[in-house]
Amino acid sequence: MRVAVIDVGTVTARLAIADVEHGKVQRLARQSTIVNLGEGVDRTGRLNEGACERLLTCIDRYLKDIRGAQVACICCTLTSAARDASNSDELLGELQARGLVAQVIPGKVEGSLTFLGVAQDFPGECLLVADNGGGSTEFAWGMLDEQTGLDLKRVRSIDVGCRRVTERFLSREDPPSVDDLRAAHEFAAGEFAPVGAWWTDHAQDVPRRLVVTGGTSTTIVALSKALVPYDSAQVHLAQVTRAQVREQEDRLAALPAAARAELAGIQSQRAPVILGGVVAVAEVMDATGFQSLTVSESDLLFGMALTAAATACDLPSPVGWRPKLS
């Protein structure tokens, strides 16, 4: 079955067209557009008009591509920015007018779908997955067993992401001051601290691997390797050490946003928020005690594709949640 899935995040809107067969994603083509839907949401609690217009322009383009792809169904979800905004219903109405049934999903569903996508590469392995986005970071701890399915022990969404950290702490000066950078770290560390205690009393189920998804983690790899153009083959499943994260943070913190945008390996539109994302990733590692992480591109879009295909075929949802499909 061919499905289209659209993930509307705080920073990016992403489209994937996937072929799903026997519960596996056989092929997935994707697009990603930085629309910054969450611009100002942390401060105002509302989606602003310009951000919504950018998103709708992007969605119109995605829908044209979908119409030519002969998909069986479309699944569209919105995450952190839409969860936080009091006027998300207005945006949902604009999407409905385009024939797109969109849902604002809870953080726990977002984390579960991301874990499902990531775990395809690590069957039978106990994992901690962190999906570091623009407004939040979803943590999911568990395992995918090829016989019994998904075994999730804990899932939690925490309101720490690259745009939220940037707007709260790192936008007063460019580049930010040492004090503001320290405050950003202290904020993220305090929010993430409870996750590190999850497996204290579960010696048999301690996660053996930290897998991180999201634009910050892929950009850390791209910056480290100066990838121009971006090369998924060199990013997906790449290993990143805590020292490498620290190195990129020091490099970025010394530069104004305009200079970051010129670095090899970064999307220019991500430059204003990348330092906030790197701070968050560093604190994910410190809070959970991992000295290295694995970067994955098999993320929320993979999980959405698998769940949408199961729902369209009237099969049980692998994460318990059943999307509304267009």
Residues 6+ apart with CB under 8 A from 181: 169, 170, 253, 275, 279
194 shares a domain with 306: no
pTM of the model: 0.95
Total domains, the chain: 2
Indicate the range of 166-180, 194-208, 246-260 predicted with least confidence. Answer: 194-208
Please give the pLDDT value at position 201. 80
142 shares a domain with 242: yes
| Model confidence pLDDT, tens digit, residues 218-260 | 999 999 999 999 999 999 999 999 999 999 999 999 999 999 9
Q: Contact at 8 Å (CB) between 110 and 133? A: no
101 shares a domain with 60: yes
Give the separation between CA 250 and CA 254, rounded to whole angstroms: 6
**Residue 306 pLDDT more than 90?**
yes
130 shares a domain with 13: no
289 shares a domain with 152: yes
Higher-pLDDT residue of 27, 311: 311
148 shares a domain with 7: no
Q: Which of 13, 240, 8, 20 minimizes the C-alpha distance to 130? A: 240
Q: Contact at 8 Å (CB) between 125 and 97? A: no
102 shares a domain with 165: no
- Residue 86: give the domain boundaries: 2-106+300-312
261 shares a domain with 306: no
User: What mean pLDDT is predicted for residues 167-179?
Assistant: 97
Give the separation between CA 133 and CA 160, rounded to whole angstroms: 8
**Residue 202 pLDDT more than 90?**
no
Q: Which burial class, exposed, middle or buried, applies to 203 when counting CB atoms under 10 A from its CB (0-12, 13-18, 19+)? A: exposed
Structure tokens that stand for 114 in this block: 């991301």
128 shares a domain with 228: yes
97 shares a domain with 196: no
86 shares a domain with 130: no
275 shares a domain with 135: yes
Please give the pLDDT value at position 28. 84
In a domain, 111, yes or no: no
